[in-house]
Amino acid sequence: MRKMGMTRRMFLMELGRRKGFRIESELSESVTHIVAENNSYLEVLDWLKQQAVGDSSRFELLDISWFTACMEAGRPVDSEMKYRLMEQSQCRPLNTPELEMPALIATKLSQYSCQRKTTLNNYNKKFTDAFEVMAENYEFKENEIFSLEFLRAASLLKSLPFSVTSMKDIQGLPCVGDQVRDIIEEIIEEGESSRVKEVLNDERYKAFKQFTSVFGVGVKTSEKWYRMGLRTVEEVKAEKTLKLSKMQKAGILYYEDLVSCVSKAEADAVSLIVKNTVCTFLPDALVTITGGFRRGKNIGHDIDFLITNPGPREDDELLHKVIDLWKKQGLLLYCDIIESTFVKEKLPSRKVDAMDHFQKCFAILKLYQPRVDNSTCNTSKKLEMAEVKDWKAIRVDLVITPFEQYSYALLGWTGSRQFGRDLRRYAAHERKMILDNHALYDRRKRIFLKAGSEEEIFAHLGLDYVEPWERNA
């Protein structure tokens, strides 16, 4: 098969991606269109047979002219007869060299983030930051529909391998409604969005932003405090009539530490503490850091750990033993243990944002900072340094999962939140399955699908596997 030049091929691939297409270098389940240049229908068909794809009729086999027409229109155009490779096209001569790959394999960008690869390389941060402010504001107003509209748009733009510089760049993309489009257009033209600026200056938004940054405080409590006339965390601290929960008291007490970012180095240090403590009681236990740090982030606001035991022995009291030891060591500042409410053979939850039923512990640990050598300091300086706090309060979540549910729990707790939402939506809408952090249920076959790894879960769903560092949706 005659091969397109590498320079031209790379140029067209990048052009397609800029227009919102997903361009693949290899065949996969998500491929819908195969585009070739200077090759006949039979030549492409022979190439497909070599790839052992089975039924090739699921692909649109198209001439490069279809692709260039799409680029001119800024959106996918209909696969009309004039673009299709026809069966009566001249067959390639016998004894030609082994077929090479067609020029381009193109797919439309999916509405589901679980069908996109989203790394930490965000080329559209000025847009996604704006969308996240709008989403948060609607969340504070408990308007889930508008909040999700902006979250999905932010997720989509994070996955693009290029910077959006004109409105043409977003033509044909899913998840881009009128509200989103207006903000993109204004940022392109003015450099900022007046609507976003208005939200950032809004008294209610600023108050809720502060209140919800307190450990244990959600939208309902924020609303209550706002109605009382409170506007800042400092005012909350000064208000002696407030009845705070145990969690909220800890959130206020260690507020400055908890709102500061947790570094990767701090996460690694806490990970060592958690693993050493768990293995004291259960030597074969598997302790895995999840959340943003598993997705490759260098900073976060808390650290999540998934704990399971591959061996035959389980310990229902493990969390309690871990907590008791940390108390004795003086490391525990706060803890709340939630016992398991899992019911075997119960169908997974249909809710996209459903909480799971694992035994878990929400804790605040004391992480000691490296000591500074004060041997050369004078006496007053030594006293001053001795009074300085040498530890930092760190939020830590511990989740205990049975080994047979470990893969599902790992997938759910790794995130991102939007990736998990879309994975569950995809399972329900596209595969007639129900997915949660415990299991995957096939509604057609009426069976639970076992999985020993995340890869097997993706395979059950008919999805290409997405690495943890590509799930930053």
Distance separating alpha carbons of residues 25 and 243, to the nearest angstrom: 59
Distance separating alpha carbons of residues 397 and 361, to the nearest angstrom: 6
Q: Find the catalytic residue in 304, 356, 422, 436.
A: 304
**CB 102 within 8 Å of CB 44:** yes
Residues in CB range of 457: below 8 A, 6 or more apart: 407, 408, 411, 435, 440, 451
Longest dimension (CA), the chain: 94
Q: What is the DSSP string of 179-197?
A: HHHHHHHHHHHHSS-HHHH
Reply yes or no on whether 268 is catalytic: no
Tell me, rounded to whole angstroms, the distance of Cα 429 from its chain centroid: 20
Reply yes or no on whether 397 is catalytic: yes
| Residue 442 assigned as binding residue | no
Distance separating alpha carbons of residues 441 and 439, to the nearest angstrom: 6
The DSSP output letter for 435 is E
CA neighbor of 130 nearest in space, from 191, 193, 202: 193
User: Is residue 434 classed as helix, strand or coil in its secondary structure?
Assistant: strand
User: Is residue 342 classed as helix, strand or coil in its secondary structure?
Assistant: coil
Residues in CB range of 295: below 8 A, 6 or more apart: 120, 414, 415, 416, 468, 469, 471, 472
Reply yes or no on whether 464 is catalytic: no
136: its two tokens: 């948060």
Distance separating alpha carbons of residues 121 and 114, to the nearest angstrom: 17
Q: Find the catalytic residue in 202, 315, 397, 464.
A: 397
Distance separating alpha carbons of residues 376 and 393, to the nearest angstrom: 29
CA neighbor of 273 nearest in space, from 361, 394, 360: 394
Q: Find the catalytic residue in 302, 356, 422, 436.
A: 302
| Residue 129 assigned as binding residue | no
228: its two tokens: 């009382």
| Residue 464 assigned as binding residue | no
The residues facing 168 across adjacent strands are: none
As annotated, the binding site for Mg(2+) includes: 302, 304, 397
Binding-site residues: 302, 304, 397
Residues that are catalytic: 302, 304, 397
